[in-house]
Amino acid sequence: TCLTVHRDTRNLAAAAAAESGAQHAVSGAPTNQPTLHADVRIALPPAVAPRWETLTVQEGEPFVIHLPRVQGSPSPQFRWKLNGVDFFNGTVPYLSVTAAESQHSGTYTCSLWNPVGAVSWEETLVT
């Protein structure tokens, strides 16, 4: 990707998260003018693929709930709720319970956020 600089204007057309990183800019002045090298970060709000799942778990057994295809830049934070009550906060797109108990039954919801957006996702009913 080439970033063209004209006076004080900078334009990065069709920016995408895949284009984050080192970018090369060419000034509008004669070719003997210096070029600009910049580290560009494209910010994207969180997104997650929709999916509904029911898990049947035996008491004492472990279970893991994964959020499918999480996206966002910078990486989102995660807040898990069980039946509407805060359950766990973290930085990974999954929730792991090492030994299921009766109080783990219900609907798990996850809120994802980063500086440019937020999304909530109801994922799994555990019985």
pLDDT at 36 over 90: no
Chain mean pLDDT for the chain = 79
Closest CA to 68 of 51, 45, 87: 51
Same domain, 37 and 50: no
Same domain, 77 and 115: yes
Same domain, 36 and 52: no
| Number of domains composing the chain | 2
Q: Which residue in this structure is represented by tokens 């906060």?
A: 89
Same domain, 19 and 51: no
Same domain, 16 and 51: no
Same domain, 54 and 30: no
107 to each of 3, 60, 82, 116, how far by Cα in Å?
47, 19, 6, 27
Closest CA to 15 of 48, 47, 49, 38: 38
pLDDT tens per residue across span 99-116: 999 999 999 999 999 999
**pLDDT for 39:** 72
Same domain, 70 and 29: no
Strands 106-114 and 117-126: antiparallel
pTM here is 0.67
pLDDT at 45 over 80: yes
Same domain, 69 and 104: yes
Domain interval for residue 119 = 45-126
Same domain, 75 and 110: yes
Cis peptide before 74 (omega within 30 of 0): yes
Same domain, 79 and 100: yes
